[in-house]
Homo-oligomer: A and B are copies of this chain.
Amino acid sequence: MRSATHGYLGPAGTFTHQALLSLGDLPGEARPYPSVPAALHAVRSGEVGSVLVPIENSVEGGVSATLDALTYGDPLQISAEVVIAVQFDLYVRPGTELSQVRSVVSHPHAIAQCRGWLDAHLPDAVVTEGGSTAAAAVAVAAPGSRFDAAICAPVAGVSQGLVAAATSIADNAGAQTRFVLVGPPGPLPPRTGADKTTLVCFLRVDRSGALLEILEQFATRGVNLCRIESRPTRTTLGSYCFSIDAEGHLDDARLAEAVMGLHRVCSEVVFLGSYPRADGLTPTVAEGQGDEDYTEAAAWLARLRHPERA
């Protein structure tokens, strides 16, 4: 039997951990994994029932490791998304003054998002990239640490007995990260009317204008896109696939027809799930694109094909 355990991109204290907790009372234990590939591997192997991983950041963009690990390998399915505001603070050991900080450690994305603040306030500090913001806090708290400060979330700094030397140091206040809960393929979460569907489309390489053709599959059915990211196909330079979040659920007729259209014109379409939108926004359905319009059109077609049955 598949485990009810949930995994997440750890260690404890990461933003992913914080996002997982925001999902409410999840049954079973929450288990940290050291990397996105490791977390998704744990789902594929059946070690955990599902894992939460970051997929998109308002500053850094798509999380390549997640996008690629979802695309290649045994099928996976997203069943939920969580969006949380990201706050970066500078945590130090008690007694350290900001003016004494000579070395800083953090995850590369966190460093990138605080680059302006670092250049302004700690221009001479040596900045080292580490595996996670939580690990950075651990490293600073370690006895004899070679690092003076960590850029991390409050939960991580506090849990290690550190204190904040500066708060909200990200260059873009209001940064957000989006996480997805990933499990094995299974029944889709019920349609809520405010849903999102994630796909990866591989172009037929011998077709010019193939991206335009993909976008037209959506446009013709009145389906808006929330996100589109190109990713290399890992073959030759300039060969791309496209990771897409589209408005709607696979049980919406317009999205289903668009997805079937993609399946026909692409060399491959990887379906990664339909799930409720974190923002709960109900999209406007264009005229003629509702389920009832599709049903009515199919009935009309049947009458045209067989007027003798009417």
Residues of A within 8 A of B (CB): 37, 56-62, 64-65, 77, 83, 108, 112, 115, 128-131, 172, 174, 176, 178, 185-188, 204, 208-209, 211-212, 215-217, 219-221, 224-232, 234-240, 250-251, 256-257, 259-261, 263-265, 271, 287-289, 293-294, 296-298, 300-301, 304-308
Query: Which residue of B217, B236, B240 contacts A228 across the interface (Cβ within 8 Å)?
Result: B240
Q: A174-B236, A187-B307 are in contact. List 18 more A-B contacts (CB 8 A).
A: A56-B232, A57-B232, A57-B237, A58-B232, A61-B230, A176-B237, A185-B307, A208-B224, A211-B228, A212-B215, A212-B216, A216-B219, A229-B229, A259-B301, A260-B298, A260-B300, A264-B289, A264-B294
In the complex, are the beta carbons of A237 and B83 less than 8 A apart? yes
Query: Which residue of B187, B256, B257, B261 contacts A308 across the interface (Cβ within 8 Å)?
Result: B187
Closest Cβ of chain B: how far from A159's Cβ, in Å? 23
Closest Cβ of chain B: how far from A18's Cβ, in Å? 16
Closest Cβ of chain B: how far from A289's Cβ, in Å? 7
Query: Which residue of B60, B217, B271, B300 contacts A263 across the interface (Cβ within 8 Å)?
Result: B300
28 contacts between A and B (CB under 8 A): A37-B115, A57-B232, A58-B239, A60-B64, A77-B307, A108-B129, A172-B234, A172-B235, A174-B236, A186-B307, A187-B306, A208-B224, A209-B219, A211-B215, A212-B219, A215-B215, A216-B219, A217-B220, A220-B261, A221-B261, A227-B230, A227-B238, A230-B230, A256-B301, A261-B297, A263-B296, A264-B288, A264-B289
Query: Which residue of B60, B187, B216 contacts A232 across the interface (Cβ within 8 Å)?
Result: B60
Closest Cβ of chain B: how far from A55's Cβ, in Å? 10
- Name A309's closest neighbour in chain B (CB-CB): B187
Chain A at the B interface: SS class: mixed
Closest Cβ of chain B: how far from A192's Cβ, in Å? 16
Complexed CA–CA distance, A226 and B205 (Å) = 12
For A260, the chain B residues whose CB sits under 8 A away are: 294, 297-298, 300-301
- Name A177's closest neighbour in chain B (CB-CB): B237
Pick the 9 closest A-B CB pairs, nearest first. Answer: A264-B288, A260-B297, A185-B307, A61-B232, A263-B297, A58-B237, A220-B220, A176-B237, A265-B288
Query: Which residue of B204, B216, B297 contacts A287 across the interface (Cβ within 8 Å)?
Result: B204
For A306, the chain B residues whose CB sits under 8 A away are: 187
For A231, the chain B residues whose CB sits under 8 A away are: 61
For A301, the chain B residues whose CB sits under 8 A away are: 250, 256, 259-260, 263
In the complex, are the beta carbons of B305 and A237 less than 8 A apart? no
